[in-house]
Amino acid sequence: MNNMNRPLILIAEDLESNFLFLKIVLQKKYRIIWAKDGKEAVEMFEEYSPSLVLMDIRMPVIDGIEATKFIREINPDVPIIAQTANAFASDQDKAKDAGCNIIIVKPIKARTLTEAIERFEPL
């Protein structure tokens, strides 16, 4: 499959080390773009129309909850997978209420990530 035929995933993640892990896990099967904060995530979503969004919840400028709400106004159907270091049910409920389809808790395991994304295939 050539590069342009692979689905595009927007990774919204402010920590470079976390982004690099996600990129390594996903880059063989997907094209990747990186937003370093929630505002950038919304702007890149509008510009590139990715097939799926991996949304960190705690980010600068606009957090992942607010960014998810903005993206849902643009596209109510795109799969959004929240990534959070917070395992509290109340935080996970906020992410679901904002429009996240799945919440995965950090530290993320490669298999957990790929299984979550594969639930939405074909992208």
pLDDT in tens, 15-47: 999 999 999 999 999 999 999 999 999 999 999
Mean pLDDT of 4-10: 93
For the record, the structure tokens of 99 come out as 């429009």
Beta bridge partners of 52: 9
For the record, the structure tokens of 90 come out as 């109340």
The verdict on whether omega for the bond into residue 107 sits within 30 degrees of 0, i.e. cis, is yes
4 band by pLDDT with thresholds 50, 70 and 90: confident
The residue ranking higher by pLDDT, 74 or 86, is 74
* pLDDT of amino acid 32: 98
* pLDDT of amino acid 2: 64
pLDDT reading at 1 higher than 80: no
* Environment class of 84 (CB within 10 Å of its CB; exposed 0-12, middle 13-18, buried 19+): buried
